[in-house]
Copies of this chain bind each other. A is one copy, B any other.
Amino acid sequence: MIRDPLYQLIWMSRPLMQAAEAAVERGLQGSGLTVRMRAVLEILHRNGDASVPELAARLEIKRQYVQVMVNETLQAGLTERRVNPRHKSSALVSLTDTGRALIADVLDREAVLVAQIGAGIDPAEAERALNVVQALTEKLKASVKE
Contact = CB atoms under 8 A, between A and B. Distances in A.
Interface of A: 1-2, 4-17, 19-20, 22-23, 26, 46, 107, 111, 113-114, 116-118, 120-121, 123, 125-137, 139-141, 143-144
Copies of this chain, how many?
2
B143 A113 contact: yes
Main secondary structure of the interface of A (DSSP, over half): helix
Contact of A114 (B7, B12, B20, B128): B7
A7 B11 CA distance: 19
A28 to B, nearest CB: 12
A127 B6 CA distance: 7
A126 B9 contact: yes
